[in-house]
């Protein structure tokens, strides 16, 4: 049987083709995609690693289980799920059917819309890995009772906002959030009564550094999540943090690595798909297998939610416009999602 699948070229031209429906291999599931999310990497990767026929860059899946591979437990055909497709591999979410590892797939409650669910997998897991695997901050099910200042640079982005939501669950405060025109959205994610505050990056680098330090109320700041990783954000954080400090970034950044003062390491969300390394007991893969169902429980319980979203019309036919708008920086405090059934020639 054939399905519609979209491929993104290095010039961000989207081509929709009829392709075979894939078969899930061991440890994977086949999902009938209802809604796909989009991410900035979806236009960046084809430019960094161009292929003549383009690539299906979709990683955020929301839909129904269609089939399961060998050794998959806990999922059956018809289950309502969200999933994180394995990045840089075929059969992503820009299609009628997508493949995902079972350990990055989680059940959705009936009340959660597919549109909301499609905003979660990649961005929320990036935030979780950064906070808990890279910065080693207290987990949500073991929240801290101590003052732990945390700087989140780019708090209105999807990754940044999920970092704020999770930090609140971990009772991490004060949250010092660097944001700009979307500060009103960030206000809904912080608690001023616990010392949380917003620093406007538009005031310039020196003001940002000074205000970050002041926001901690004289306490040392040892942790920062850089959800921007561009335009001097990491340099501002390095100048504002107290040694020994840790910064996690989402993009390659000058000065990465350990030193005697401030260490900078990148959170690579793709590591959640890696196989365990011999000699280590807790890897990103196992963390993801635990944390994705936790997010599903949060959706069911009402103490976790997705990111604000905008449905781009035309299904897969609307992808090119959405990705170009992402590339042009037009998305502010919003994720673009597409409904596959709106694609011309699809009858879901």
Same domain, 40 and 114: yes
In a domain, 302, yes or no: no
In a domain, 281, yes or no: no
Is pLDDT above 80 for 276? Answer: no
In a domain, 338, yes or no: yes
Same domain, 127 and 238: yes
| pLDDT of the residue at 260 | 67
In a domain, 173, yes or no: yes
Cβ–Cβ under 8 Å, residues 48 and 9: no
Same domain, 230 and 312: no
Q: What does the pLDDT average to over 314-336? A: 96
| pLDDT of the residue at 277 | 63
pLDDT, mean over the chain: 95
Same domain, 131 and 265: yes
Same domain, 150 and 104: no
Report if pTM > 0.75.
yes
Same domain, 161 and 207: yes
Helices (H), 220-335: 233-240, 284-301, 319-327
Candidates 259, 272, 235, 291; CA nearest to 100 is 272
**Secondary structure class of 38 (helix, strand, coil):** coil
**Secondary structure class of 224 (helix, strand, coil):** strand
Tens digit of each residue's pLDDT (9 = 90 or more) over 246-275: 999 999 888 777 776 899 999 999 999 987
| pLDDT of the residue at 258 | 74
Same domain, 267 and 155: yes
Same domain, 112 and 38: yes
- Interatomic CA distance for residues 250 and 248, integer angstroms: 7
In a domain, 289, yes or no: no
* Size of the chain in residues: 348
In a domain, 229, yes or no: yes
Give percent of the chain with pLDDT exceeding 70. 97
Same domain, 314 and 236: no
Cis amide leading into 127 (omega within 30): no
Last residue of a domain, one of 272, 295, 327: 272
Residue with tokens 């900078």: 264
| pLDDT of the residue at 6 | 98
In a domain, 322, yes or no: yes
Same domain, 150 and 114: no
CATH number at residue 113: 3.90.180.10
Cβ–Cβ under 8 Å, residues 180 and 201: yes
Cβ–Cβ under 8 Å, residues 312 and 338: yes
Tens digit of each residue's pLDDT (9 = 90 or more) over 138-183: 999 999 999 999 999 999 999 999 999 999 999 999 999 999 999 9
Cβ–Cβ under 8 Å, residues 121 and 37: yes
- Interatomic CA distance for residues 241 and 255, integer angstroms: 15
Last residue of a domain, one of 256, 272, 288: 272
Q: Give the structural domain span for 88.
A: 2-119+308-342
| pLDDT of the residue at 278 | 55
Tens digit of each residue's pLDDT (9 = 90 or more) over 282-308: 689 999 999 999 999 999 999 999 999
Tens digit of each residue's pLDDT (9 = 90 or more) over 81-111: 999 999 999 999 999 999 999 999 999 999 9
In a domain, 297, yes or no: no
Cβ–Cβ under 8 Å, residues 231 and 253: no
Same domain, 112 and 227: no
| pLDDT of the residue at 342 | 98
Is pLDDT above 70 for 279? Answer: no
Q: Give the chain's domain count.
A: 2
Q: What does the pLDDT average to over 114-141? A: 98
CATH number at residue 263: 3.40.50.720
Same domain, 203 and 268: yes
């Amino acid at each position: 049987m054939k399905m519609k699948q979209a491929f993104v070229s290095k010039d961000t031209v989207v081509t929709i083709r009829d392709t075979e429906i894939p078969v899930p291999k061991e440890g994977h599931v086949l999902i009938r995609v209802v809604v796909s999310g989009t991410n900035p990497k979806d236009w960046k990767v084809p430019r960094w690693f161009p292929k003549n026929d383009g690539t299906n860059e979709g990683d955020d899946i929301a839909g129904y289980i269609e089939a399961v591979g060998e050794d998959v437990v806990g999922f059956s055909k018809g289950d309502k799920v969200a999933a994180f497709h394995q990045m840089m591999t075929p059969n992503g979410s820009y299609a009628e059917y997508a493949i995902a590892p079972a350990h990055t797939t989680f059940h959705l409650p009936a009340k959660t819309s597919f549109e909301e669910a499609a905003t979660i997998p990649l961005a929320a897991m990036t935030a979780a890995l950064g906070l808990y695997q890279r910065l080693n901050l207290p987990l949500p099910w073991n929240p801290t009772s101590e003052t732990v200042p945390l700087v989140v640079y780019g708090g209105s982005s999807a990754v940044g906002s999920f970092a704020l939501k999770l930090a609140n669950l971990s009772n991490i405060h004060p949250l010092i959030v660097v944001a700009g025109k979307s500060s009103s959205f960030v206000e809904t994610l912080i608690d001023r009564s616990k010392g949380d505050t917003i620093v406007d990056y538009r005031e310039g680098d020196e003001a940002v550094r000074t205000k970050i330090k002041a926001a901690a109320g004289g306490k040392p700041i040892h942790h920062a999540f850089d959800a921007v990783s561009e335009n001097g954000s990491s340099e501002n954080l390095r100048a504002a943090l107290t040694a020994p400090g840790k910064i996690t970034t989402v993009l390659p950044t000058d000065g990465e690595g350990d030193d005697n003062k401030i260490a900078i390491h990148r959170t690579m969300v793709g590591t959640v798909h890696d196989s365990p390394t011999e000699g280590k007991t807790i890897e990103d893969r196992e963390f993801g297998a635990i944390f994705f169902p936790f997010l599903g429980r949060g959706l069911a319980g009402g103490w976790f939610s997705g990111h604000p979203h905008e449905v781009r019309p035309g299904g897969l036919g609307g992808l090119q416009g959405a990705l170009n708008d992402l590339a042009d920086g037009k998305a502010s405090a919003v994720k673009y999602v597409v409904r596959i059934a709106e694609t011309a020639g699809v009858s879901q």
